[in-house]
Amino acid sequence: MTGNLFYFLTFLTLFAALGVVFSKNPVYSVLCLILTFFTLSGHYILLNAQFVAAVNIIVYAGAIMVLFLFVIMFLNLNQETEETQHKSTLMKVAGVISGGLLLVIMIAVLKDAELGAVDTANFNSQIGLVENLGQLLFTKYLLPFELVSVLFLSAMVGAVMLGKKETQQRHF
Amino acid sequence: MEIPALAIQALIILAIFGITLLIATYCTWAERRIAGFLQDRPGPNRVGPWGLGQPLADAVKLFFKEEFIPATANKWLFIAGPSLAMLTALMSSAVVPFGNTILSDEFGAIRIQGIEVNIGMLYIFGVVSLGVYGIMIGGWASNNKFSLLGAIRAASQNISYEIALGLSLIAVLMMTGTLSLREIALQQAEPLFGISGMNWNIFYQPLGFIIFLTCAFAETNRTPFDLPESEAELVGGYHTEYGSMKLGLYLFAEYVNIIVVSAVMSTLYFGGFNFPFQNEIGALLSSDPKVAHNIITVMGIGVFFLKIFAFIFFFMWVRWTLPRFRYDQLLNLGWKGLIPLSIINIILTGTAILLSEHFGW
């Protein structure tokens, strides 16, 4: 049952992820990306990590992708406007090279990756629940957790700085 | 789970689903009757006694209207918009505890709830944050400037108020120490000043409740925050191009959202299925603790629905009393008013928890 669900979800994930790349219409790409996040959350639930699954939906599907969709709808990109902009040969070559490099890195990483043997007898299946995750975050990983919040704060300050009106700028 | 237990669970889910839809149907009637009452006119009173057949007549009308899709619209997304709005609206009632447990000899304790998950609050929050997709997709697919403006307004409004909503929930979470809605409801069954079933969170979180209520109005796109469909400036907002049952689904989804939000507010702040003097009433009615528990549960379900109805009435009362905000006022209230207030609320709650632990209150 769980195995079949895993294969079904994986198929959906790959299908949606390919849809992101191959859609002609950017709005379809974003919708496919949202579907990808949902299927990834399905994988988290299969791993009994309910908290990560819910937060993935709230943060990515519920907030970040809404903003993506927001911007793309405003730009209203479509096939006609895309085709009028001619992409130069240099750009295509650069794209192929960087994509190929990424592929090489991925193969190199996957080649040396060792799947840690899981001790199924002593494995704590409750490890992904909120209580355990919270315990871990506020004891073992307290410093990285706090540092991440400082990172977020600096990003927020940067966003406010960029969005602030200049003193000479007219108010519209 | 055993097969009979699964069947009971399926029955409960089906019942919750049906009741939600039934209440939403009659919300459309109640809205117009209340509007009529507040504006000193009768409202719909021709179909059946007190106009009770009006929702049925409306449904028939909507179903028989021409199914019209604009030529320049994106056909699939145009249909997907209202479907998504309805889907996300109906999903969230799954984790709301509509009642305590029914104790039976055969099946043990049966929970009056769709599914019990220990992340119930996060689930609700996640589904609510998805609610905007139906409006955005529908508004964009219509290929109409007014619809697009409505969709964009809905998106920025929902994102802005989601933050304050989440922060006001965190204060409740700090107090109760659990994300499960059932646990939160059960904690409120404790006695307060000797009255059983009165330990409601509203007495500890009045500021949090007001923030939550305001955000709930914004998230369900109700007046005074119904900017996405403000007819004076945007024709019809995101549903300008919609007609027949697709429009009906959008309007219907709004009522389902109101019901769910009312249920969540009752659970989080107003004691859920608990009511004053519940233990005394149970003891009075039956000496058998099991029977008394079941009687209290059934009465609790009724009380819970009464609370929901009270909130629905409040939503309608506000809609027909307050004028609409301007858009910059709406965003200023969200970002400069509610978010700092909810952070202050979190700090106050944290201080109170620390002090009460220190002095052993």
Chain B residues lying within 8 Å of A128, measured CB to CB = none
Contacts within 8 Å (CB) and 24+ apart, A38-44: A39/A9, A39/A12, A39/A13, A40/A13, A42/A5, A42/A9, A42/A12, A43/A6, A43/A9, A43/A10, A43/A13, A44/A128
Residue A171 lies in a domain: no
pLDDT score recorded for residue A82: 58
A75 and A143 in a single domain? The answer is no
**Is residue A147 situated within a structural domain?**
yes
The pLDDT score that the predictor gives to residue A28 is 86
How many domains does one find in chain A? Answer: 2
In a 10 Å sphere around its CB, with 0-12 CB exposed, 13-18 middle and 19+ buried, how is residue B163 labelled? middle
- Domain with residue A5: its CATH number is 1.20.120.1200
Question: How would you label B281-315 residue by residue, b for 16+ Cβ within 10 Å and e otherwise?
Answer: bbeeeeeeeeebbbbbbebbbebbbebbeebbeeb
DSSP B288: S
Q: What confidence score (pLDDT) does residue A78 get?
A: 60
Low-confidence ranges of chain B (pLDDT < 70): 1-2, 361
For residue A125, pLDDT over 80 is answered with no
Nearest by CB to B140, which of A54, A73, A129?
A73
A146 within domain boundaries: yes
In this structure, are residues B202 and B238 in contact, taking their beta carbons and an 8 Å threshold?
A: no
Domain end (from A81, A100, A123): A81
Asked if B229 is an interface residue toward chain A (Cβ–Cβ < 8 A), one would say: no
Whether the CB-CB separation of B240 and B142 falls below 8 Å is answered with yes
Residues of B in contact with A54 (CB under 8 A): 119, 122-123, 125-126
Which pLDDT does position B347 carry in this prediction? 92
Between positions 276 and 305 of B, the ones with CB within 8 A of A are none
Query: Which range marks the domain in which residue A156 is found?
Result: 132-166
**Mean pLDDT of the residues in chain B:** 84
Q: Do B179 and A130 touch (CB under 8 A)?
A: yes
For residue A115, give both structure tokens.
Answer: 């799947």
Residue B268 CA to residue B180 CA, distance in Å, equals 10
Render pLDDT for B255-285 as a digit per residue (tens, 0 to 9): 888 998 999 999 888 888 888 887 777 777 7
> Is residue A99 one of the residues assigned to a domain?
no
Q: Is B142 helix (H, G, I), strand (E, B) or coil?
A: coil
pLDDT tens, position by position, B211-220: 999 988 888 8
Mean residue pLDDT of chain A comes to: 83
Report the pLDDT value the prediction gives residue A147, as an integer from 0 to 100.
92
Burial category of B130 from C-beta neighbours within 10 Å (exposed 0-12, middle 13-18, buried 19 and up): buried
Please tell me whether the peptide bond between B97 and the residue prior to it is cis, using omega within 30 degrees of 0. Answer: no
Tell me the CA distances in angstroms from B38 to B31, B223, B340, one per residue in order: 10, 15, 35
Best B87, B128, B132, B183 member to test A by mutation, with max A CBs in 10 Å, is B132
Q: Is B41 exposed, middle or buried (0-12, 13-18, 19+ CB in 10 A)?
A: exposed
Q: State the pLDDT at residue B191.
A: 78
Confidence of residue A105 (pLDDT cuts 50, 70, 90): very high
- Kindly determine whether residue B122 and residue A55, on different chains, have CB atoms separated by under 8 Å: yes
Could you tell me the two tokens for B235?
């024709």
Distance CA A32, CA A38 (A): 10
Give residue A77's pLDDT.
61
3-state helix, strand, coil in chain A (%, to 5): 75, 0, 25
CB contact under 8 A, A57 and B179: no
